[in-house]
């Protein structure tokens, strides 16, 4: 999706004092290691081509247990359905594929969030210290292996120094307790992520860096993990998250919702939605659980399209291979609560009732982006090109619109030729039109080059080979050539990496 510049924020004086006290009382000096382990600090970023500061080196997270308590700020407004709403516009994740082009009108200041993050990880090197990504919130305490750790802070980098060093291959558990007012992060293109306040609660959206606004973690898609997310809110509100609802209980005027997402998930796909939702549980014909949560204001307009979720899931499984997760569903907010749709894992978020194309697009992302996750943010076209092509396939199967016709429309649109889909000029362009439209054109040219039977075998094989993993553009091109037995260098040079618009195709395979 759109460029998200790293937003840096000075640490509050109170937080700085707290962290200084933590550092002073641990007794772990600047190089102090225990148990004879010698090591070095983990890197403060994974050197992503577009977001080099995101993520951290030296460890791999296996599981997050997030325990959250949220009190919304008082206030709100009387917006009604359709006021500035994006619903019913037929857009795919945002007009012109610029998913995050602002437009949200949030419900007021954020309330107070109190959280505990228990992070189970494994060291990938001998570690003397390691970092977590966290934006703005105040750290109250931190332990590694049950022992207090020294803590320091520089912008969004939270550095923990365990009392004893961690050996390569060692499993360890970090517990960070934190609190404060979670931030909405506004990027250079005016799009917003992180913690968005809504009329009756809040919505957490993370692509590409926003999850650090509400929990500390290894905030890069290359480090996926399972999640348990438990959220306590005032009675009368509901808290929705990824995966399956394991329990719901109300005590003393507050209700706690416990969600479990057992399959690996990138941090940007984690979500929490808090509000007075109307929820519904059902199943697809094959028995897959479906859980939807809809703001009451848009419930009536969302009924028909959400009823199509089971059919879309069954169709997508035939086209793309077995569904990779244990449940599916959707979260539908008021149109003004978010400026874009996002493929949050198992429950994509929509700003108002989506149209058929947008529903297909976001559900297709569960295969392309959520299960097969990009290795770096440069590989975004693998998410968006395939999700856009899923819309073309749906049109072909159900709307009597050949994929060739959608290809011709995309080819004629000059916005798709601003840059190659695999080589956006800067982070500001990683979710601009070429990543979507021209990305889908690349997929279509592969289909033309190898034929339908081989193409769908390749698609299903690709989602199986990288199920719950990460993949790069080079992985994809090598996979297609190996499975097809074809040298497709000209295709990649022209459609995937080429900077000039080729002559108009005159027939199948032209330009490949």
Q: Judge whether residue 5 has pLDDT over 70.
A: no
Of 22-26, 71-75, 331-335, which has the strongest mean pLDDT?
331-335
166/84: higher pLDDT: 166
189 — pLDDT class (breaks 50, 70, 90): low
Residues across the chain: 512
Q: What is the pLDDT of residue 493?
A: 98
Mean pLDDT of 294-315: 97
Place of tokens 């438990």: 230
Query: What's the start-to-end Cα distance of the chain, in Å?
Result: 27
Residue-wise pLDDT for 194-250, tens only, equals 999 999 999 999 999 999 999 999 999 999 999 999 999 999 999 999 999 999 999
Tens digit of pLDDT for each residue in 472-512? 999 999 999 999 999 999 999 999 999 999 998 755 544 44
Decide if 83 contacts 336 (C-beta within 8 A): yes
Quick check: helix, strand or coil at residue 80?
Answer: coil
Q: Percent of the chain beyond pLDDT 70?
A: 85
Asked whether the predicted pLDDT for residue 25 surpasses 80, the reply is no
- Rounded to 10°, the helix 439-450/473-484 angle is 10
Q: How high is the pLDDT of residue 385?
A: 98
Range scoring the smallest mean pLDDT among 4-18, 270-284, 289-303, 488-502:
4-18
**Residue for token pair 């700003």:** 351
Q: What does the alpha-carbon distance between residue 419 and residue 433 come to, in Å, rounded to a whole number?
A: 9
User: So what's the pLDDT on residue 73?
Assistant: 83
**What local confidence, expressed as pLDDT, does residue 108 receive?**
72
Distance (Å, rounded) from C-alpha 144 to C-alpha 165?
A: 10
Torsion 338-339-344-347 (CA) sign: positive
- Rounded CA separation 450/454 (Å): 6
Q: How far apart are CA 290 and CA 368, in angstroms?
A: 19
Assess whether pLDDT exceeds 70 at residue 14: no
User: Residue 70's beta-bridge partner residues?
Assistant: 113
pLDDT in tens, 417-450: 999 999 999 998 998 999 999 999 999 999 999 9
> How many other C-beta atoms lie within 10 A of the C-beta of residue 45?
18
Mean pLDDT of 376-400: 98
Q: How far apart are CA 113 and CA 174, in angstroms?
A: 20
pLDDT of 312 over the 80 cut: yes
Burial of residue 68 (CB within 10 Å: 0-12, 13-18, 19+) is buried
CA dist 191 to 103, 187, 194, 205, Å?
Answer: 8, 6, 11, 11
pLDDT band of residue 106 (cuts 50, 70, 90) is low
Provide the 10 A C-beta neighbour count for residue 46: 19
Band of residue 38 on the pLDDT scale cut at 50, 70, 90: confident
Task: Check whether 295 has a pLDDT greater than 70.
Answer: yes
Q: What is the mean pLDDT of residues 41-68?
A: 97
Q: Are strands 150-154 and 328-333 parallel, antiparallel or unpaired?
A: unpaired
Transcribe 438-495 into DSSP letters: IHHHHHHHHHHHH-HHHHHHHHHHHHHHTTTSEE-HHHHHHHHHHHH----HHHIIII
Chain centroid to Cα 497, Å, comes to 25
Which of 338, 451, 445 shows the shortest CA–CA distance to 385? 445
Q: What is the pTM of this model?
A: 0.88
Residue 257 CA to residue 253 CA, distance in Å, equals 14
Prior bond of 208 cis (ω within 30°): yes
Structure tokens, 460 = 């299903």
In the predicted structure, residue 1 carries a pLDDT above the cut 70: no
CB 261 within 8 A of CB 227: yes
What integer best gives the mean pLDDT of the chain? 88
CB 218, CB 55: distance < 8 Å: yes
341 phi/psi in degrees, rounded to 5: -90, 155
Cβ–Cβ < 8 Å for 440, 421: no
Mean pLDDT along residues 385-400: 98
**Cβ pair 330, 348 in contact under 8 A:** yes
């Amino acid at each position: 999706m759109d460029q998200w510049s790293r937003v840096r924020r000075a640490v509050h004086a109170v937080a700085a004092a707290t962290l200084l006290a933590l550092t002073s009382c641990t007794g772990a000096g600047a190089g102090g290691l225990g148990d004879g382990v010698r090591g070095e600090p983990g890197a403060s970023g994974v050197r992503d081509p577009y977001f080099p500061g995101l993520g951290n080196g030296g460890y791999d997270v296996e599981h997050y247990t997030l325990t959250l308590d949220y009190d919304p700020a008082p206030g709100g407004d009387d917006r009604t359905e359709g006021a500035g709403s994006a619903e019913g516009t037929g857009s795919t994740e945002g007009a012109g594929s610029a998913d995050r082009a602002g437009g949200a009108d949030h419900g007021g200041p954020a309330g107070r969030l109190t959280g505990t993050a228990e992070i189970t990880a494994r060291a990938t090197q001998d570690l003397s210290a390691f970092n977590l990504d966290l934006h703005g919130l105040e750290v109250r305490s931190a332990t590694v292996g049950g022992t207090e750790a020294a803590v320091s802070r520089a912008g969004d980098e939270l550095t923990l120094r365990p009392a004893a060093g961690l050996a390569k291959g060692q499993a360890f558990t970090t517990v960070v307790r934190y609190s404060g007012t979670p931030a909405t992060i506004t990027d250079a293109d005016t799009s917003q992520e992180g913690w968005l306040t809504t009329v009756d609660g809040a919505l957490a959206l993370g692509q590409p860096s926003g999850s650090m606004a509400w929990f500390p973690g290894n905030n890069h898609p290359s480090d996926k993990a399972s999640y348990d997310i438990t959220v306590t809110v005032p009675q009368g509100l509901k808290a929705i998250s990824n995966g399956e609802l394991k329990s719901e209980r109300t005590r003393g005027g507050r209700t706690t919702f416990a969600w479990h997402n057992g399959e690996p998930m990138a941090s940007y796909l984690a979500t929490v939605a808090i509000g007075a939702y109307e929820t519904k549980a059902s199943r697809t014909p094959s028995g897959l659980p479906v859980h939807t949560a809809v703001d009451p204001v848009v419930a009536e307009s969302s009924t028909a399209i959400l009823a199509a979720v089971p059919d879309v899931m069954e169709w997508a499984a035939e086209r793309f291979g077995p569904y990779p997760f244990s449940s599916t569903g959707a979260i539908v907010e008021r149109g003004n609560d978010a400026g874009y749709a996002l493929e949050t894992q198992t429950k994509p978020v929509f700003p108002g009732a989506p149209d058929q194309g947008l529903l297909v697009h976001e559900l297709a992302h569960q295969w392309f982006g959520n299960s097969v996750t990009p290795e770096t943010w440069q590989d975004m076209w693998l998410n968006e090109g395939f999700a856009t092509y899923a819309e073309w396939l749906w049109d072909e199967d159900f709307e009597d619109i050949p994929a060739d016709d959608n290809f011709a429309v995309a080819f004629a649109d000059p916005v798709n030729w601003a840059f190659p889909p695999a080589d956006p000029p800067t982070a500001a362009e990683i979710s601009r039109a070429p990543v979507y439209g021209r990305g889908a054109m690349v997929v279509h040219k592969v289909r033309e080059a190898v034929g339908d039977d081989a193409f769908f075998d390749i698609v299903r094989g690709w989602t199986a080979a990288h199920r719950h993993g990460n993949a790069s553009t080079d992985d994809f091109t090598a996979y297609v050539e190996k499975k097809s037995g074809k040298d497709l260098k000209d295709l990649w040079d022209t459609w995937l990496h080429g900077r000039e618009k080729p002559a108009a195709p005159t027939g199948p395979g032209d330009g490949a």
